[in-house]
Amino acid sequence: MNPTIDTLAMPVDPQAAREAAHWLMRLHSGQPNDDDKQECLAWRARHPKHEIAWQRAELVSRTFGMIPSSLGMPTLDRPTSFDRRASLKTLALLIAGGPMVWAAYRTQPWQEWLASAQTATGEIRQMTLSDGTRIALNTDSAIDVVFDESTRLIKLHLGEVHIETAADTAPHYRPFIVQSASGTARALGTRFTVRQEDKLFFAKTHVAVTEGAVELRPADARLALRVIKAGEQGSFDRDGSDEITSIELQADAWVDGILFAENTRLADIVPQIARYRSGVLRCDPAIADLRVSGAFQLKDTDNILALLQQSLPIRIRKHTNYWVMLEPA
């Protein structure tokens, strides 16, 4: 009888899966003591469903290498740690789900849903990482934070992140890297923004640097390095990078919840507003070239639209709250 096949075939109790995830992280990260091991053995013996969940948990760990060294007991002891919560949730789902879920986990939507930190449409979230780096997540964004002995890594699954790197206090140098679908952006002591733009058949990553410099490395053209310096912005996909241009004025104003425009085409402003509201927001081509200037509060997109209607020869037509069209007045 093949124990692996048996483990895969058996249903796993959801509560037992959550408890197994906890024990797996407790024993396979940090330095577990004899008491920890004995308590786990006692838990496994308490009920057959515990042993089934434990066998599946160890199989998941071997399959995915799910226990990063950065999630040792110090992290587990911090009840507010989003690393801990996200990792426990991921483990519990994989333990309970079986092969079908394991296959789905490798696809982008699952990675976004199980990300360490994420924001809803219209939400902007700020946080400080364990090394002192400050980050801000823009609307509808998702990241994983993976710090270990050799690297400080942010995996950008969706949306946009603003980063102010801190001096690393680790004994050995650890580069700070943002990984997107296009490749990687390595910080060279800096403040910068990375946005992933997902199209139907490809993804492109946009980087804007306000301090220091960032090195871009496309995933499929790893020798095609390009460095973006302070005051510059650039884009790249898996095959290469575009020309570097001057940074847009107030490109990171969204970190403070502000949409900034200076003589900007209405057709270029509308997609930015649309990122912060649910549903569809469209601009009639007849008014696309009208110019907009001002600073707008992103927390209230209805108010932004009302202000545009007051200052421009346009009208707002709502089919529903989720289908809005800007048309000539």
User: What are the helix (H) ranges across 227-279?
Assistant: 266-274
Q: What is the DSSP string of 93-140?
A: HHHHH-HHHHHHHTSHHHHHHT-SEE--TT--EEEE-TTS-EEEE-TT
pLDDT digit string, tens, across residues 71-124: 333 333 333 344 556 667 777 878 887 665 655 554 444 444 455 788 888 999
The one-letter code for the residue type at 181 is: A
pLDDT digit string, tens, across residues 209-222: 999 999 999 998 87
Q: Read off the pLDDT of each residue in 10-17 and give the average, rounded to a whole number.
A: 84
For residue 181, the 8-state DSSP code is: S
Average pLDDT of the chain to the nearest whole number: 83
Report the alpha-carbon distance of residue 84 to residue 77 in Å, rounded.
Answer: 9
For residue 102, the model assigns a pLDDT of 59
Q: Is residue 120 within 8 Å of residue 107, measured between CB atoms?
A: no
The one-letter code for the residue type at 132 is: G
Report the alpha-carbon distance of residue 240 to residue 235 in Å, rounded.
Answer: 9
Q: Which one is predicted more confidently, 14 or 108? A: 14
Q: What is the DSSP string of 6-41?
A: HHHHS---HHHHHHHHHHHHHHHSS---HHHHHHHH
Residue 172 clears pLDDT 60, i.e. is over it: yes
Helices 34-46 and 14-28 sit at what angle, rounded to 10 degrees? 160
Both structure tokens of 128:
């400080």
For residue 97, the model assigns a pLDDT of 77
pTM: 0.66
All structural domains of the chain, each given as residue ranges with its CATH number in brackets, are 3-106 (no CATH), 117-246 (2.60.120.1440), 257-328 (3.55.50.30)
pLDDT digit string, tens, across residues 228-269: 999 999 999 999 999 899 998 788 999 999 999 999 999 999
Report the alpha-carbon distance of residue 132 to residue 67 in Å, rounded.
Answer: 23
The position carrying tokens 């797996």 is 24
For residue 115, the model assigns a pLDDT of 57
Residue 152 clears pLDDT 50, i.e. is over it: yes
Both structure tokens of 143:
């990241």
For residue 32, the model assigns a pLDDT of 65
Closest CA to 145 of 166, 120, 127: 127
Report the alpha-carbon distance of residue 140 to residue 16 in Å, rounded.
Answer: 32
Both structure tokens of 135:
């980050």
pLDDT digit string, tens, across residues 37-84: 889 999 999 998 998 888 888 777 665 554 443 433 333 333 334 455
